[in-house]
């Protein structure tokens, strides 16, 4: 069984693509609706929440877990893989939606870090990334792209409260105007540079794809993260068949939430395309962070996420 985890509803867009691509696979989806949004939390809070939710899925029989939340991937995935997983679940694997997107953008496999002097020269391109504030501040997208493809320039745009608006099912016209405002801000940053590729760097945003397309230049290529992740997982299971279900005739999916199941059901069908039966996980108190060094806050915590090359 494969576990799929997200802070809320956004991961359902990824799950839908996974179910379509793997029709005989069993899935367990866990939405942390009771503690969303993650994009406004500290890095340590995001790590602790992600660690506990991944642990929950593993304890329920998921030997492979997909983190379908870009914020959790950018902030917590690497630490989880390097520190927690080897000690607590060494036979399991935790993957994210972030890596397949970087591979698709750069044309390089994840383990390739660095640009060879013999790499073919390619014309420069500009990539626009729309994401949560925390994902933008992590600098993960531009840093990982720069490691593998120097011809790609990344411009980031944080979209405060857009994921929450989607979660809450706000009026579609309000969300259309919010998307248009964020697109205008990004285009202003780009100046005269042509935007070649757009990445919706939050799994909540595909439901607003039509609004993004309407607000961006018509020749802009918009990459679908759910489809890219599904294709990458099919390839991964081909290399690691031990994580794939066999003998099941049809795909089955169970749904868990840390929030109110009734409220979650009312919104979830818009993401998955079907009515879903969520069950509540009881006893989920706010996790207490492990002791960490106290780091003074940055002088300016309100940046919109200009192009950056900070390490992830």
Over residues 243-258, the pLDDT tens digits come to 998 767 777 899 999 9
Which of 62, 69, 73, 159 is labelled catalytic? 69
User: How far from each other are the two terminal CA atoms of the chain, in whole angstroms?
Assistant: 30
246 assigned binding-site residue: no
Element (H, E) at 152: strand 152-158
* pLDDT tens digits, one per residue of 206-253: 999 999 999 999 999 999 899 999 999 999 999 999 999 876 777 789
Helix locations, 60-156, DSSP H: 70-72, 78-79, 85-88, 98-106, 133-138, 140-148
Average of per-residue pLDDT values in the chain:
87
pLDDT of residue 242: 95
Q: How confident is the model at residue 71 (pLDDT cuts 50, 70, 90)?
A: very high
Closest CA to 157 of 139, 133, 138: 133
Based on the residue annotation, tell me whether 202 is a catalytic residue of this protein. yes
Residue 306's pLDDT band (cuts 50, 70, 90): very low
Q: Do domains 2-96+226-280 and 100-114+121-224 have the same CATH topology?
A: yes
How does pLDDT run across 251-282, given as a tens digit for each residue? 789 999 999 999 999 889 888 988 899 999 87
106 in a known ligand binding site? no
Q: Which residue has 């990344």 as its token pair? A: 154
What is the predicted pLDDT for the residue at 304?
A: 38
93: left (phi over 0), alpha (psi -120 to 50) or beta: beta
> Omega into 37 within 30° of 0, i.e. cis?
yes
The DSSP secondary structure of 223-291, one letter per residue, reads: E-HHHHHHHHHHHHHHH-GGGS--S-SS-EEEEEESS-HHHHHHHHHHHHSS---EEE----PPPPPPP
Cα–Cα distance list, 101 to 145, 147, 174, 264, 278 (Å): 10, 14, 29, 28, 29
CB 197, CB 220: distance < 8 Å: yes
User: Does 71 appear as a known binding residue?
Assistant: yes
The yes/no answer on whether domain 100-114+121-224 falls in CATH 3.90.1150.10 is no
Q: Is 38 labelled as part of a ligand binding site?
A: yes
Per-residue pLDDT reduced to its tens digit, 144-176: 999 999 889 999 999 999 998 988 878 899 999
Confidence grade of residue 119 (pLDDT, cut at 50, 70, 90): low
Percent of residues, the chain, with pLDDT higher than 70: 87
Q: Does the annotation count 62 as an active-site position? A: no
Give the pLDDT score at 301: 42
69 vs 32, 97, 226, CA distance in Å?
Answer: 11, 7, 11
CATH fold of 2-96+226-280 reads Rossmann fold (3.40.50)
As given in the structure block, the two tokens for residue 167 are 């979660």
| Average pLDDT value for residue range 57-61 | 97
pLDDT band at 121 (very low <50, low <70, confident <90, very high): low
Answer yes or no: is pLDDT of 303 > 50: no
Please count the residues of the chain: 312
The percentage of residues in the chain with a pLDDT greater than 90, rounded to a whole number, is: 70
Q: Is the pLDDT of residue 294 over 60?
A: no
pLDDT score, position 285: 53
What is the C-alpha to C-alpha distance for residues 186 and 180, in angstroms, rounded to an integer? Answer: 10
* 310 pLDDT above the threshold of 60: no
pTM for the model stands at 0.84
- Any known ligand binding at 7? yes
The DSSP code for 194 is: -
Show me where the domains of the chain are located: 2-96+226-280, 100-114+121-224
């Amino acid at each position: 069984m494969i576990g799929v985890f997200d802070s809320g509803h956004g991961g359902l867009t990824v799950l839908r693509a996974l179910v379509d691509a793997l029709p005989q696979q069993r899935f367990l989806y866990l939405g942390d609706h009771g503690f969303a949004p993650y994009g406004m939390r500290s890095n340590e809070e995001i790590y602790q929440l992600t660690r506990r939710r991944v642990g929950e899925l593993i304890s329920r029989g998921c030997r492979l877990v997909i983190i379908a939340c870009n914020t959790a991937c950018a902030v917590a995935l690497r630490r989880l893989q390097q520190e927690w997983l080897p000690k607590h679940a060494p036979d399991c694997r935790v993957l994210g939606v972030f890596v397949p997107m970087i591979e698709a953008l750069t044309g390089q496999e994840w383990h390739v870090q660095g640009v060879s002097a013999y790499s073919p020269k390619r014309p420069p391109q500009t990539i626009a990334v729309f994401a949560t504030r925390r994902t933008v501040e992590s600098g993960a997208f531009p840093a990982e792209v720069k490691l593998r493809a120097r011809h790609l320039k990344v411009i980031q745009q944080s979209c405060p409260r857009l994921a929450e608006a989607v979660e809450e099912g706000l009026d579609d016209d309000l969300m259309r105007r919010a998307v248009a405002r964020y697109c205008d801000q990004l285009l202003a940053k780009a100046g005269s540079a042509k935007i070649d590729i757009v990445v919706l760097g939050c799994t909540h945003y595909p439901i607003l794809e039509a609004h993004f397309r309407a607000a961006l230049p018509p020749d802009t290529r918009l990459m679908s993260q759910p489809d890219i992740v599904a294709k990458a997982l099919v390839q991964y299971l081909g290399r690691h068949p031990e994580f794939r279900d066999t003998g099941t005739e049809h795909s089955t999916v169970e749904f868990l939430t840390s929030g109110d199941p009734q409220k979650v059901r009312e919104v979830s069908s818009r993401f998955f395309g079907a009515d879903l039966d969520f069950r509540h996980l009881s006893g989920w108190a706010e996790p207490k962070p492990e002791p960490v060094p106290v780091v003074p806050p940055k002088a300016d915590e309100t940046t919109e996420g200009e192009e950056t090359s900070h390490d992830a």
